[in-house]
Amino acid sequence: MTGLSSSILMINLPDELRLSDSVQVALPSGQSIQMQRCRPLFERWIGAPIKFDFGHKPLLSYQGHPIFAELLILRLLEADGWEGVWVSSYGRKYLRQMPQDSSLAHGRVPLPDNREHLLNRIWGRAGQHSGCFDVYAWRGEQVIFCETKWRGKDRIRPSQNRWIQAAISEGVALDSLLIVEWAFSGTSQG
């Protein structure tokens, strides 16, 4: 391990992201692992539509504003003392705010060098630039990667299985990888 271990990480998460169970993931190596999962319920945005919605990406409500699930999870972590970004696979951009158009210029931020270095090592080991978990956050030496999945609609993709294996090989602790399988509040599936 490269010092990224976080054996107490999951007890240091906001209530909405507390573990509910785990899910089995088959890695390209043939190894099968149990990944931690939480299953929060988020409020659906019922206000005016937004101009740019990433091709009808579901909108959630957070503090009276429309937000994508990735940014809502980031907000929950930030409120708990974490720093982080939404890693948009759409152009490998790092976001902290809602994008206003397909350029993703609004809300785009640079990553600190040490944080970007870890991602580059993982992508290099995976042999691809896809598959990265959606939210990358850190607090001191602790890191967490959260993959957002709309319950009943999304699944872990093969590119993500390769990315998970590469992340673990680069020293990211298994308990620093979290699947956030969310649904709209008031429904069982979303």
pLDDT digits (tens, 9 = 90+) for 2-47: 334 344 455 578 989 988 899 999 999 999 999 999 999 999 999 9
- The whole-chain average pLDDT of the chain stands at 89
Taking only the tens place, the pLDDT of each residue in 131-181 is 999 999 999 989 999 999 999 888 899 999 999 999 999 999 999 999 999
Question: What is the sign, positive or negative, of the torsion defined by CA atoms of 133, 79, 189, 177?
Answer: positive
Written as six digits, the tokens of 36 are 């931690």
| 101 φψ region: left (φ > 0), alpha (ψ -120 to 50), beta (else) | beta
Q: What is the pLDDT of residue 7?
A: 42
Q: What is the pLDDT of residue 91?
A: 63
Helix (H), strand (E) counts: the chain: 3, 10
Above pLDDT 90, what percent of the chain?
69
Contact 127, 149 (CB under 8 A): no
Give the contacts of 102 (CB within 8 A, at least 6 positions apart): 52, 90
CA distances 125 to 3, 119, 133, 166, 170, Å, are: 18, 10, 15, 5, 8
pLDDT at residue 129 tops 90: no
